[in-house]
Structure 1
Amino acid sequence: MPASAEASMPQRGAPERLDAFMARANAAYYAGRDPFADFVTAPEISQIFGELLGAWCAVVGQGILAGCTGGAGLMLVEAGPGRGTLMVDMVRVLVRVAPHLFATLSVHLIETSPRLRAAQKAALSQSGVSVTWHDGLESVPRGPMILVANEFLDALPIRQFVGEETEWRERFVQDGVFALSDRVEPSELAGRVAEPGEVVEICPVACAFVREVAARLCAEPGVALFIDYGTAVTASGETLQALRDGRPVSPLVEAGTADLTAHVDFEAIAHVAMDAGALCFGPVEQGELLVTLGAVERARALCAAVPDQANTVRTALDRLIAPERMGRLFKALAVMSPAGIAPGLVAPPGFPDGVPYGQKETR
């Protein structure tokens, strides 16, 4: 953002805090547009992504139910399910490799967009599984759960603070440019010295969602898998971006016409989950996760089965796992019930060292 846009609060128009602006813009965007005209997510790039996560769910689901009594059914929950492509691929694998889990499986989709709900309903119409839609996690029934959230947290509204002579000022949006508040002392930045010009982003909504998930996992057995683009450790810097028709545009103009996202702070959400009492594994890079789960071997099998599509399969796999593509920028974090809640669970597949977050330094 040019320095000229970083002015003190103009008097014209009503200032709107950045997270409020972003929430309003994305709500309008997802309600009125087809987001997949503007960006492509991993499940849309290759079936390999969803198939591997389906196999992952099969392994994790067996561990979850191993310690359950009373014949409880397993819930497969997805937050931000897009067109339903990921869920379709996961369910297809579960039917094949874990029919005993599928027999009691119920699918729950957290989605607020009527347009996307309709697409998900059509995609899952032949899946043979019960599907229920929810506006939030709070209405998902209690019980054993696997939750998957792929490119969900990045679209949640962020707040930005700018360092100015050892003080923090918060960014607002006013008349299509950034404006700065008076001096603020956000609790999330307590004790952190502001460097002049330093931009810090926080996402209270993402932290609240992860906290809610972790609290549930501390009451009922389960695992949550978060995959998104972001940083493994908390870092300064501005990451807010907007895409329209696959191209970057200003995130501050024409609210509702572009997809607004920001990098996920995986260190912050891991600490939120652990503070609630859950175990965390990772974050690991998406490329490492998929390769560990068998992405290369699955691609070879697809190439052998459909030779005329081999180049397409290889290109898609490269996009998912190559460090310079999605492989390094995208990361995965698993949040798991503690042993007292889920005695049958072990470290989830794809996290090779098997050591919970925060325990590696003392091992």
Structure 2
Amino acid sequence: MSLADILAERIRTTGPIPVSDFMAEALGHPEHGYYMGRDPFGMAGDFTTAPEISQMFGELLGLWCALVWQSMGSPGRVVLAEIGPGRGTLMADLLRAAAALPPFAKALDVHLIETSPALRNRQQQSLADSRVTWHQRFEDLPDGPLLLVANELFDALPIRQLEKNGGVWRERVVALDDGGALVFTAGPVVDEPPLAPAVLNASDGALAEISPQGRELAQAIARRVVTQGGAALIIDYGYGTSAAGDSLQALKGHKHHPVLSEPGHADITAHVDFQALAEAAAGIAAIHGPVSQGRFLARLGLEERARMLMGNATSEQAAHLASGARRLIDPGEMGTLFKVMALANPLLPVPPGLEPAE
């Protein structure tokens, strides 16, 4: 039985399901979930992330972590963790860069948070030369000062969608049409929806998105870096300021795919509301950013790093490096849509790359 059949039977039995339930099942169903049994990355997969585009991305995050570690007083042990580590490419590049500062490399206690057996297997291959511990949940990390990286994680956390009809907000749900196909429809009224004022007052027909898991995770990270020290770096695509709109999308073979078609066989994501994450962590941790990924990487020296690597590269390698750098920082590529935000212990200085605009 396919996941579409399982969901259809559930809807027939218990009624329409919220968009968040559909997304959670499509991505994380133990048997049929998109991430459970496949490697979705790269040209042979469905999408490509920054670490797969260029080694410089992970290297610069290694530099960022080293500088923040120094600002923490260079503790003799620090928990270095990544949530949603993909193939392990980012962490491998980060650790290679960290080796340039031996005291930092020696202090690292490396942990990955991964729920997918297939991806965990790929990570073990990528990091075969490193000592790494895997966990299912953020809460399972060991105690101690923390350096955390979450690249393109929050966009894959299930979202609720609300639609405004007749002046009221209703939960958007997934139901069945007369032919038994999955369709979107308006569900029950949502009293006092947790929306920013600008979104709450949107006109009829507007759609709004909420990520309860994203907010809860941001709060948990904030509490952790405040009580035990450290900082977390969140990199993703989305809105700097909360806005109404439908950003739910599916990708299959690097092309857009109908969201409700073939659940479990396509990636499903939504834009990250950075304002909502910041508000969830406000009053707990210090919040830096968001700034554009292009500005963040440029401030960390991406272009200088590219020139240095190109100096010892073949013409083909140099072209690949230049192309990768452009994709990461160009406003028409990932430079503007992708944003970077840090949640940090309030006693730390502003982390590198996230300084306020002059």
Normalising by structure 2, report the TM-score.
Answer: 0.89
- Give the 3 Å change call, closer, same or farther, for CA 185–286 of structure 1 in structure 2: same
* CA distance in 2: counterparts of 1:330 and 1:144, whole angstroms: 27
Is 2:35 aligned against 1:34? no
Greater shift, 288-297 or 99-108, is seen at 99-108
Is 1:91 aligned to residue 91 of structure 2?
A: no
Match of 1:257 among 255, 260, 265: 265
Alpha-carbon separation, structure 2, partners of 1:330 and 1:153: 12
Superimposed CA distance per residue, residues 149-197 of structure 1 (whole angstroms, 9 cap, x where no aligned partner) = 0000000000011111110111111232101113221441387335210
Aligned counterparts, 1:138-157, within 5 A = 138-157=139-158
Counterpart for residue 199 of structure 1: 207
**Aligned match of 1:349:** 352
How far the C-alpha of 1:103 sits from its partner, in A, is: 1.2
Number of residue pairs the alignment of both structures matches: 333
Q: 173, 178, 184: which one pairs with 2:184?
A: 178
Give the letter for the 2:194 counterpart. E
**Residue identity opposite 1:154 in structure 2:** D
Residue 126 (structure 1) aligned with residue 129 (structure 2) = yes
1:291 aligns with 2:298: yes
Unaligned runs of 5+ in 2: 1-10, 177-181
Q: 1:228 to 1:44 in 2, by over 3 A?
A: same
Cα–Cα, structure 1 residues 13 and 271, in superposed 2: closer, same or farther, change >3 Å?
Answer: closer
Q: Distance in 2 between matches of 1:190 and 1:325?
A: 28
SS in structure 2 of the partner of residue 50 of structure 1: helix
Amino acid at match of 1:31: M
Asked if the contact 1:63/1:346 (under 8 Å) is kept, the reply is yes
Identity %: 46
Match among 52, 77, 80 for residue 76 of structure 1:
80
CA RMSD of aligned residues (A): 1.7
User: Residue in 2 aligned with 1:359?
Assistant: none
SS, match of residue 64 in structure 2 = helix
Deviations 1:309-356 (A, max 9, x none): 1111111111110001000000000110122xxxxx21100013289x
The alpha-carbon deviation at position 272 of structure 1 amounts to 1.0
Report SS of the residue matched to 1:323. Answer: coil
Aligned partner of residue 29 in structure 1, secondary structure: coil
Corresponding residue of 1:358:
none
CA contact (8 A) 1:54 1:93 kept: yes
Give the SS at the match of 2:77. Answer: coil
Is residue 169–residue 193 contact of structure 2 (8 Å, CA) maintained in 1? no
Structure 2 Cα separation of the partners of residues 86 and 328 of structure 1: 20
Instruction: Indicate the residue corresponding to 1:6 in structure 2.
Output: none
Identify the match of residue 323 of structure 2 among 312, 315, 318: 315
User: Aligned in 2, Cα 1:183/1:353: closer, same or farther, shift over 3 Å?
Assistant: closer
Q: In the alignment, residue 82 of structure 1 is paired with which amino acid?
A: G
Unaligned runs of 5+ in 1: 1-9, 340-344, 356-363
Q: How does 1:231-246 map to 2 (within 5 A)?
A: 231-246=239-254
Letter in 2 for 1:296: E
- DSSP 3-state at the match of 1:122: helix
Question: Residues 292 and 185 of structure 1: is their aligned pair in 2 closer, same or farther, counting only changes over 3 Å?
Answer: same
Moved more, 258-267 or 176-185: 176-185
Structure-1 separation of matches of 2:343 and 2:196: 26
Query: In 2, are the aligned partners of 1:201 and 1:237 still within 8 Å (CA)?
Result: yes
Q: Superposition pairs for residues 206-221 of structure 1, below 5 Å?
A: 206-221=214-229
Output one character per residue of 1:275-317: Cα deviation in whole Å (capped at 9) or x when no partner.
Answer: 3x10011100000001110010111111111032111111111
TM-score (norm 1): 0.88
* Aligned CA distance change for structure 1 residues 102 and 146 (closer, same or farther; 3 Å): same
Aligned to 2:7: none
Q: Which residue of 2 aligns with 1:305?
A: 312
Whole-angstrom CA distance in 2 between matches of 1:225 and 1:64: 15
Is 1:50 matched with 2:69?
Answer: no
3-state SS, counterpart of residue 245 of structure 2: coil
Is residue 38–residue 119 contact of structure 2 (8 Å, CA) maintained in 1? no
1:240 maps to a residue whose letter is L
**What whole-Å deviation, never above 9, does each CA across 1:37-56 have from its counterpart, x for those lacking one?**
00000000000101111011
Determine if contact 1:75/1:145 at 8 Å carries over to the other structure: yes
Q: Partner letter of residue 89 of structure 1?
A: D
Aligned mates of 1:210, 1:163 — CA distance in 2 = 27
Does the 8 Å contact 1:83/1:119 carry over to 2?
yes
Cα displacement (A) at 1:64: 1.8
- Aligned-partner SS, 2:227: coil
